[in-house]
Amino acid sequence: MKTLFITGITGSIGTQALDVLNTLNDSINLIGGSVNSNWRKLKIIIEKYGLKYAALAKPSNEVPNFYKGCKIFKGDNSTENAIEKANADISLIATSGAAGLAHTIQASKYSKRIALANKESLVLGGDLILNLFKKNGNELIPVDSEHSAIFQLVLGENSIDEIYLTASGGSLRDKQPFELKNITKEQVLNHPTWSMGKRITVDSASMVNKILEVIEAYYLFNTNKIKIFINRNSHIHSMVKFKDGVIKMHFGKPNMKVPIAYAFTYPDRLYEYEIPDIINTEINFEEPDIQKYPVLKNLDRILGNHSLHIALNASDEVAVDYFLKGNIKYLDINKTINYVINEIEKKQINIKNFQDIFNLDNECRKIAEEFIKEEL
Ligand SMILES: NC(=O)c1ccc[n+]([C@@H]2O[C@H](COP(=O)([O-])OP(=O)(O)OC[C@H]3O[C@@H](n4cnc5c(N)ncnc54)[C@H](OP(=O)(O)O)[C@@H]3O)[C@@H](O)[C@H]2O)c1
């Protein structure tokens, strides 16, 4: 039986991973998990799954050091400490945001298999994280549905020509560009096909999520030939075009439990889920309208420039947080991203190690905060 640690165990991916485990008939033993602050939910998970190690980055005073036989780590580096003690065969990195990078670095030391949902680990970590995986002999299995699909499509292939990443178009796909000015938080959070955490739902509406995924694919599959197409019903999870004109598509119902389970059980498929209706399901694609998704104007400029990958992610994380708290408007997210990217591009920063990444991430957050407070 394999052991498993889940970072971000109370989140959207974490919760769906628990659902998957319930169906895998004890072939995987969950021994640890970490969260930011949600003790109420973590406590229930400890009780139900008998965790041995848990961690909270921002615990309240009521959180004990031990609970029902589970050692609780608290504060900065708590997830890293729990990962070390748990020493699990598989780590699912489902933390939201840039905080996930440190968790992935630590998991690389202790877990053979990294099931990677946290896209920021690749966006920020780039080649440095891939080299770390190589050095530590990790098996990297992507969990993001598009990348899981591509991972499966390229198995046994060695002449990929181009990747077509699919997108749902997000919650604002039927709005006209002029309507974006007064879009509310509620409208943005109402995603048509996927149920996800708040930041990724906002990022799906703006297509920042898709840019992060293009960067993720750039590192994972070693190509910059990547196009984005909207597939409204999210049944095509991505496509790969080969030199002989063949395009392979990954077709299935949209549900994150499928790629999560695949990352746990690869190369087997032990998880059972609904079969899509191949007669009545439409397969249509649209090119994204750049007026509706203005952030896409930055894609060519950003892709392959490590410091701009970091700038995009940090500025978006800060701006989305302000937007979700009702402090800036929807289109201000794009303004903040543009400003931070311009500032960082001027500096021509060369990233040499993980500390450079953490420093630049912090610097970008400060620039974003200042811009929002002074200019918006
Ligand atoms: N949701 C999806 O369908 C989906 C699909 C593909 C990829 N992803 C990627 O998966 C990651 C997680 O997304 P999500 O939608 O599941 O996010 P989410 O619902 O917002 O959950 C985030 C989880 O991370 C925990 N967390 C946040 N900061 C932490 C820290 N510093 N230390 C430890 N734990 C921390 C949160 O704990 P609290 O509960 O205490 O806040 C929560 O458990 C993201 O990178 C996202 O892009 C998600």
**Are 38 and 81 in a shared domain?**
yes
What residue numbers does the annotated binding site for 1-deoxy-D-xylulose 5-phosphate cover?
119, 145-146, 168, 191, 204, 209-210, 213
Ligand 1 close to Cβ of residue 96 (< 6 A) = yes
The answer to whether the beta carbons of residues 135 and 114 sit under 8 Å apart is no
Token pair in block for residue 84: 């070390």
Query: Tell me, what CATH number does 338's domain have?
Result: 1.10.1740.10
In a domain, 265, yes or no: no
pLDDT at 192: 81
β-partners of residue 30 are: 4
Pick out the chain residues at pLDDT < 70. Answer: none
Gap from CA of 339 to ligand 1 centroid (Å): 26
Gap from CA of 157 to ligand 1 centroid (Å): 32
In a domain, 298, yes or no: no
**Are 283 and 340 in a shared domain?**
no
What is the pairing mode between strands 247-251 and 236-242?
antiparallel
pLDDT at 19: 97
In a domain, 17, yes or no: yes
pLDDT at 45: 98
pLDDT at 343: 98
In a domain, 297, yes or no: no
**Are 191 and 225 in a shared domain?**
yes
Alpha carbon distance 311, 365 (integer Å): 8
In a domain, 160, yes or no: yes
In a domain, 270, yes or no: no
Ligand 1 close to Cβ of residue 144 (< 6 A) = yes
**Are 116 and 163 in a shared domain?**
no
Gap from CA of 68 to ligand 1 centroid (Å): 25
pLDDT at 193: 79
Alpha carbon distance 216, 117 (integer Å): 11
- Which class for 289: exposed (0-12), middle (13-18), buried (19 or more C-beta within 10 A)? middle
3-state secondary structure (DSSP) of residue 191: coil
Gap from CA of 305 to ligand 1 centroid (Å): 25
Ligand 1 close to Cβ of residue 10 (< 6 A) = yes
Ligand 1 site-directed mutation target among 95, 114, 198, most atoms within 8 Å of CB: 95
Is the whole model's pTM more than 0.75, yes or no? yes
**Are 364 and 286 in a shared domain?**
no
In a domain, 269, yes or no: no
β-partners of residue 70 are: 67
Ligand 1 close to Cβ of residue 146 (< 6 A) = no
Gap from CA of 76 to ligand 1 centroid (Å): 17
**Are 122 and 161 in a shared domain?**
no
Q: Of the residues 116, 143, 170, which one is the last residue of a structural domain? A: 143
CA atoms within 13 A of residue 118's CA, in its CB half-sphere: 29
Report which ligand 1 atom has the smallest distance to the Cα of 118.
Answer: 45
Report which ligand 1 atom has the smallest distance to the Cα of 121.
Answer: 45
Q: Which residue puts its alpha carbon closest to atom 25 of ligand 1?
A: 8
333-337, Cβ contacts within 8 angstroms, sequence gap of 24 or more = 333/202, 333/206, 333/208, 334/206, 334/294, 334/295, 335/371, 335/375, 335/376, 336/368, 336/371, 336/372, 336/376, 337/208, 337/295, 337/298, 337/312
Report which ligand 1 atom has the smallest distance to the Cα of 200.
Answer: 47
Q: What percent of the chain has pLDDT over 90?
A: 96
3-state secondary structure (DSSP) of residue 124: helix
Gap from CA of 39 to ligand 1 centroid (Å): 15
Q: Of the residues 143, 172, 203, which one is the last residue of a structural domain? A: 143
pLDDT at 195: 79
Q: Of the residues 127, 143, 159, which one is the last residue of a structural domain? A: 143
> CB under 8 Å to 55, separation ≥6 — which residues?
32, 33, 34, 35, 72, 73, 74, 78, 79, 81, 82
Ligand 1 close to Cβ of residue 249 (< 6 A) = no
Q: What's the total number of domains in the chain?
A: 3
The answer to whether the beta carbons of residues 315 and 341 sit under 8 Å apart is yes
The answer to whether the beta carbons of residues 33 and 14 sit under 8 Å apart is yes
Question: 107 is in which domain, residue-wise?
Answer: 2-143
Distances from the Cα of 257 to the Cα of 19, 108, 207, 349, angstroms: 8, 23, 22, 39
CA atoms within 13 A of residue 32's CA, in its CB half-sphere: 30
- Tell me how far apart the 2 most distant CA atoms of the chain are, in Å: 62
Strand (E) or helix (H) holding 53:
strand 53-56
Based on C-alpha coordinates, what's the Rg of the chain? Answer: 20
**Around Cβ 144, how many Cβ atoms within 10 Å?**
28
pLDDT at 178: 95
> CB under 8 Å to 21, separation ≥6 — which residues?
4, 28, 30, 49, 264
Ligand 1 close to Cβ of residue 204 (< 6 A) = no
**Are 151 and 123 in a shared domain?**
no
pLDDT at 54: 98
Distances from the Cα of 158 to the Cα of 154, 224, 238, 304, angstroms: 8, 16, 18, 22
Report which ligand 1 atom has the smallest distance to the Cα of 37.
Answer: 40
The answer to whether the beta carbons of residues 71 and 53 sit under 8 Å apart is yes
Alpha carbon distance 87, 67 (integer Å): 20
**Are 9 and 45 in a shared domain?**
yes
**Are 121 and 166 in a shared domain?**
no
Alpha carbon distance 298, 341 (integer Å): 9
**Are 222 and 326 in a shared domain?**
no
Gap from CA of 197 to ligand 1 centroid (Å): 7
**Are 138 and 160 in a shared domain?**
no
Query: Tell me, what CATH number does 8's domain have?
Result: 3.40.50.720
Alpha carbon distance 116, 143 (integer Å): 5
Ligand 1 close to Cβ of residue 116 (< 6 A) = no
Report which ligand 1 atom has the smallest distance to the Cα of 212.
Answer: 47
In a domain, 296, yes or no: no
Gap from CA of 198 to ligand 1 centroid (Å): 9
**Are 339 and 363 in a shared domain?**
yes
